[in-house]
Chains A and B, each alone.
Chain A
Amino acid sequence: MSATLFVVQVLNGLQLGILLFLVAAGLTLVFGVMDFINLAHGVQYMLGAYLAVTFYWLTGSVFASVALTLPASLLLGLALEVVVFRHLYERHHLEQVLATFGVILFLNQGVKIVWGAAPLNMPAPDLLSGSIPLMEGLRYPVYRFAIMAAGLAVAALLYVCVTSTRVGMLVRAGATNAPMVSALGVDIKQLFMLVFGCGAMLAGFAGAMVVPILSVEPGMGDQILILAFVVIVIGGIGSIRGAFIAALLVGVIDTLGRSFATDALRLFLGPSTARIIGPALASMAIYLLMAVVLAVRPAGLFPTRGHA
């Protein structure tokens, strides 16, 4: 457990956390404003990744492909909203879970039909390839820094939009009490569409950005969906700030757990026991965190008033 490895893993954890935040932000907004459980949010992240690969094939440039992915995932999100999701806002959570589960099944399989089941890849752009030395014997890939920078920029933009624009004010008001906002003469349907489209676009953006460091395959959205749910539940549903802090927490704890749990346990237990328990504990760490948070604060770390 050297210091260099530790620093690298903390950076990896932060990077995972920022990606998680991009996915979780849309989820928590959709959830907070519309009270709608969107299991299909992870699929939108997956679609973003597939779109990015496709646009890369078409244009040959990573920047162009990301630039094209954003409006494309926005359109896809809006299409899903119009066709399926807007009919579910009034329904019971159970029915929302079922319908969006159906959407997951369809889109996961649809992606397999269109792009095949084999994993796809896209290289990092030349401008952002290579690595920079951080300290003695430690180089870190530029692209991962780029992901962090882009993610933080989007987070900052989102923060400004939510805290100091008129639309942001409506979104916050909607998260606290949607019927009241509607009663005050705001076209809540348009607001919902806007929020949903933005959420889909953020998820698509996250999907497009991970393509150079992950392989693109059907079902890649399911894993991040569960993580994103853990994030928004820890952070408090509907709270952007909570999602940001919880995302970083979850990212760092998950990454550190996976790299160091076995070694740490070896200090207390025998090596063979540690080798069995370590990975299990590492995979469970974030769920344990969530269980502890919910046991202490049943509405998450930063509860919004409407859902407290």
Chain B
Amino acid sequence: MPLAVRTVIDAAAHGLRALTFDQRMAGGLFLLLALLPPLSPVLGGGYLLLIGERAMVLGLAAISLELLIGAGGMVSFGHAAFLGIGAYGAGIAASHGLGTLSVALPAALAASALFALATGAIAVRTRGVYFIMITLAFGQMAFFVATSLAPYGGDDGLSWPGRTLVFGTRLLEGRTTFFYVTLLLTVAAYVLVSRLIGSRFGRVLRGLTDSETRMQAIGFAPYPFRLTAYVIAGTLCGLAGFLIGNHAEFVSPAYMHWTRSGELIVMVLLGGTGTVYGPIIGALAFVLLEEILSRLTEHWKAILGPLLVLVVLFARGGLAGGIEAWRRRKLTPAQLLASLERRARETTAGAGHRAAQIAATSGRLARETATRVGAVWRAWRVVLHHWLGALVLSAKRGAAGARPWATALGRRLESLVQSAERGIAAAVDRWRRR
């Protein structure tokens, strides 16, 4: 008996050693999640399962986004569109009485794949910020189309008639069953994405992120690789949409709002990009944070916001980055505290110094402005003076110059009149002599 146990343990250890750190972390996470349904009566009941489902679905969406951000270097700010399109695809099929697995799931996947292909064909041509913006624009387009889908609820959203039927049975209605289905699909997505990133395709994609020019030089065209990654990520996120629609039995345009896309980016970064288990941890952390903070206060976003800023400023690499540093013993808790304290001290000292600097600069600026204004005024005064003086002078000159001209005119008039008189007198004289 002990021998058998030992064999099993040895085999397990051997298996574990074959796994990468990423896979071990993800495995542990999935194991914890799998234990949730049996433990839920002790831990707080069905509510916990609902939170768990939400976290897993968002984790699945975040994994698909990680394929774009982490491997492809493409920061999509419209990824939530696929979440909504998946949910709408299945929901619209269901509202026509076609809510079966054989129709609803392909509808969800095909709709998101088509949208990814159509928008990706344009978006992938752009780089960097332009890519962020154009995906945002496409996300907004999908959002507005959804709000104007009057036959399917428009702004108010679409209530599903029920969860998707699996071969005519209501298999997904069972809470535990649905939880495990979601878990299974999330695991599948994790395996798919980590395999993809490790494959030749993924290596080309990462190479393109590092240096597009070099990849082109050794004969890889960026466009097809990027577009394929975009379509795969979109379709995977459509699967997440299918699940979240089933989870809520409802879909609304709010699923596609741009802040939701922002939240997906937050999950990926909070967890740590560059790893595949990171996005799952990020989604879990985000959902938990949301739950805990929204219980503390209705203004929980006012706490979450600064928290995000702090994560960006001080915790580069996210949670996975922290785990990695800790694993390599770079950072013990004491060291972490010390470094945080040092940073805080530096920041406060820097702030004082900066305030003094700002005061000095603004004082100098004010003085400079004053002198400059003075100089401008002096220059203008000279100009004005000259100009006015010249004007007066020319007026005077004009008056003076006009006088001889007038006398000359008068003289000429006089002589004209005189000669006319003389002429008339001569004419009269001649007429008399006749």
Contact = CB atoms under 8 A, between A and B. Distances in A.
Interface string B286-328: 0000000000000101101111110111001000000000000
Contact of B309 (A102, A275, A288): A102
A109 B305 contact: yes
Contacts of B305: 102-107, 109
A294 B126 contact: yes
B102 interface: no
B302 A291 contact: no
Interface stretch (A4-12, A91-99, A141-149): A91-99
Interface string B76-102: 010000000000000000000000000
A200 B209 CA distance: 33
Nearest to A82: B354
A188 to B, nearest CB: 14
B134 A233 contact: yes
A182 to B, nearest CB: 17
B301 A283 contact: no
Interface in B262-305: 262, 265-266, 269, 273, 299, 301-302, 304-305
A226 B304 contact: no
Interface string B231-264: 0000000000000000000000000001100100
A88 interface: yes
A103 B310 CA distance: 11
B143 to A, nearest CB: 8
Interface in A259-287: 275-277, 279-280, 283-284, 287
A101 B266 contact: yes
Interface in B111-137: 122, 125-130, 132-134, 136-137
Contacts of B178: none
A94 B265 contact: yes
A22 to B, nearest CB: 19
A127 interface: no
A290 interface: yes
A287 B151 CA distance: 23
Nearest to B318: A98
A295 B266 contact: no
A284 B145 contact: yes
A277 B312 CA distance: 42
B148 interface: yes
Contact of B133 (A107, A233, A280, A283): A233
B312 A295 contact: no
B60 interface: no
B361 interface: yes
Contact of A88 (B130, B132, B145, B312): B312
B44 to A, nearest CB: 27
Interface string B384-407: 000000000000000000000000
Contacts of B361: 190
Given A101-B266, A190-B361, A226 B258 contact: yes
A97 B358 CA distance: 27
Contact of A97 (B137, B150, B262, B304): B262
Interface string A224-252: 00100110010001000000000000000
Contacts of B230: none
A294 B138 CA distance: 12
Interface in A58-115: 82, 84, 87-88, 91, 93-95, 97-99, 101-110, 112-113
Tell me the dominant secondary structure on chain B's binding face.
helix
A287 B141 contact: yes
A279 B146 CA distance: 11
Contacts of A291: 122, 134, 137-138
Contacts of B316: 95
A207 B153 CA distance: 33
Contacts of B134: 233, 290-291, 294
Interface in B138-197: 138, 140-141, 144-145, 147-151
A101 B301 CA distance: 11
A152 interface: no
Contacts of B273: 94
Q: Which of B132, B148, B351, B361 has the most CB of A within 10 A?
A: B148
A233 B145 contact: no
A87 B350 CA distance: 12
Nearest to A31: B129
Contact of B265 (A98, A106, A222): A98
B75 interface: yes
Given A104-B305, A280-B144, A37 B132 contact: yes
Given A93-B129, A102-B307, A291-B122, A283 B302 contact: no
A108 B127 CA distance: 30
Contacts of A158: none
B306 A106 contact: yes
Nearest to B354: A82
Contact of B312 (A99, A190, A233): A99
B69 interface: yes
B147 A287 contact: no
Contact of B148 (A190, A229, A280): A280
Given A101-B308, A105-B304, A276 B299 contact: no
A298 B309 contact: no
A84 B309 contact: yes
A39 B128 CA distance: 15
Nearest to B145: A280
A299 interface: yes
Given A87-B313, A109-B299, A276-B150, A102 B304 contact: yes
A100 to B, nearest CB: 9
Nearest to A230: B137
Interface of A: 31, 37, 39, 82, 84, 87-88, 91, 93-95, 97-99, 101-110, 112-113, 190, 222, 226, 229-230, 233, 237, 275-277, 279-280, 283-284, 287-288, 290-291, 294-295, 298-300
**What are the nearest 7 A-B pairs in CB distance?**
A106-B305, A102-B308, A105-B305, A283-B144, A280-B148, A109-B302, A99-B312
8 contacts: A97-B77, A102-B305, A106-B306, A113-B299, A190-B361, A280-B148, A287-B144, A300-B130
Given A105-B301, A106-B304, A279-B148, 18 more contacts: A82-B358, A88-B313, A93-B128, A94-B273, A98-B265, A98-B269, A105-B302, A105-B305, A106-B306, A109-B301, A222-B259, A226-B140, A280-B147, A283-B148, A290-B133, A290-B134, A290-B137, A291-B122
